[in-house]
Amino acid sequence: MANPTSEGMSQQRWERTHDYIEQLFSDDPENWSREDDAAVAAGLPAISVGAAVGRWLSLLAAMSREGGAQLIVEVGTLGGASALALARGLSPSGKIITIEADSHHADFATGALARAGESRVDVRVGEGLKVLPDLVEELGVESCDLLFLDAIKTEYFGYLEAGLSLVRSGGLVVADNVLGVGNGWVPDSIDEEPTRVAIDEFNRMVSDHPRLQGTILPMRQGLLVALVR
Ligand SMILES: C[S@@+](CC[C@H](N)C(=O)[O-])C[C@H]1O[C@@H](n2cnc3c(N)ncnc32)[C@H](O)[C@@H]1O
């Protein structure tokens, strides 16, 4: 019979572990649920990264440069919740540029960021694959401390190709949902569902990339973190 003290990561132990981490280390859960409720009431989908991943984003932004990040680029703003989490890791003079294709989401995010008193986030309406090359022109190569990907999963590969040159050596690439979205758990599935295949290709691109040293934090739907060398 299995010894309960050495059961490994059973489903129940995973849930208890996750609850424990969330209770101790989440990024202001009450505020997150208030903001998520307001976003849903305005017609936005309930798909923000959530409080536990939010804490990781704040921490990674803070660790991406001594004194906090100076410049962060995000693809996929939604209601601005992840941008607010990233902003907690900015240096006082830092800035976030966040790209959102849906103007209703972008308008909501602009309002939510203003309500939160956060003026360091610039919301740009457009598609990630089109805006990222423009940002390379505008900001210059190696200008940014952290690139966060959280828009269309089948485009992650393209976002990385278009945006990696923005990130300075020593900066970070971070991507959400790299273990699964609504279409199955990436390591479990054997089918050729396009989103699953695209996420798998993106993870393999990062793992093989000569400039990237990364891994996946297996929390929620998987958070990829890679150091740019
Ligand atoms: C998962 S949500 C982002 C969640 C957000 N990062 C958060 O945690 O609060 C994805 C967002 O990407 C936006 N989006 C969809 N296609 C896009 C594209 N091509 N470029 C940029 N954003 C896009 C969607 O409208 C949606 O708001």
Which one-letter amino acid corresponds to residue 112?
A: A
State yes or no: pLDDT of 7 exceeds 70.
no
What confidence score (pLDDT) does residue 189 get?
Answer: 79
Number of domains into which the chain is organized:
1
Is 128 a domain residue?
yes
Is 3 a domain residue?
no
Q: How far is 49 from 219, CA to CA, in rounded Å?
A: 11
What confidence score (pLDDT) does residue 6 get?
Answer: 62
Q: What percent of the chain clears pLDDT 90, i.e. is strictly above it?
A: 76
Interval 92-115 mean pLDDT: 97
Query: Which range, of 83-87, 110-114, 126-130, 190-194, averages the lowest pLDDT?
Result: 190-194
Contacts (Cβ under 8 Å, ≥6 apart) of 184: 191, 193, 196
State yes or no: pLDDT of 155 exceeds 80.
yes
- Choose between 147 and 2: higher pLDDT: 147
Give the side-chain half-sphere CA count within 13 A for 228: 23
Interval 124-147 mean pLDDT: 98
Is 186 a domain residue?
yes
Q: What percent of the chain clears pLDDT 70, i.e. is strictly above it?
A: 97
What confidence score (pLDDT) does residue 96 get?
Answer: 98
Distance 12 CA to ligand 1 centre (A): 32
Q: How far is 41 from 118, CA to CA, in rounded Å?
A: 22
Atom number of ligand 1 nearest to Cα 47? 1
State the average pLDDT for the chain.
93
Q: What is the pLDDT of residues 168-226, one digit of tens each?
A: 999 999 999 999 887 678 888 777 888 999 999 999 999 999 999 999 998 889 999 99
SS3 assignment, position 208: helix
SS3 assignment, position 219: coil
Q: Report the residue among 32, 60, 152 best suited for mutation to probe ligand 1: largest number of ligand atoms under 8 A from its CB.
A: 152
Query: Which range, of 5-14, 97-106, 199-208, averages the lowest pLDDT?
Result: 5-14
State yes or no: pLDDT of 1 exceeds 90.
no
In CATH, what number is assigned to the domain containing residue 17?
Answer: 3.40.50.150
* Atom 7 (ligand 1) nearest CA: 48
Which one-letter amino acid corresponds to residue 29?
A: P
State yes or no: pLDDT of 138 exceeds 70.
yes
Is 5 a domain residue?
no
Range of the domain at 38: 10-228
Pairing verdict, β 167-176 and 180-181: unpaired
Q: Report the residue among 35, 47, 181 best suited for mutation to probe ligand 1: largest number of ligand atoms under 8 A from its CB.
A: 47
Residue 203: enclosing H or E segment and its boundaries? helix 194-208
Within 118-163, residue ranges assigned H as helices are 128-139, 156-163
Q: What residues flank ligand 1, with Cβ below 6 Å? A: 47-49, 75-79, 81-82, 99-102, 105, 127-128, 150-152
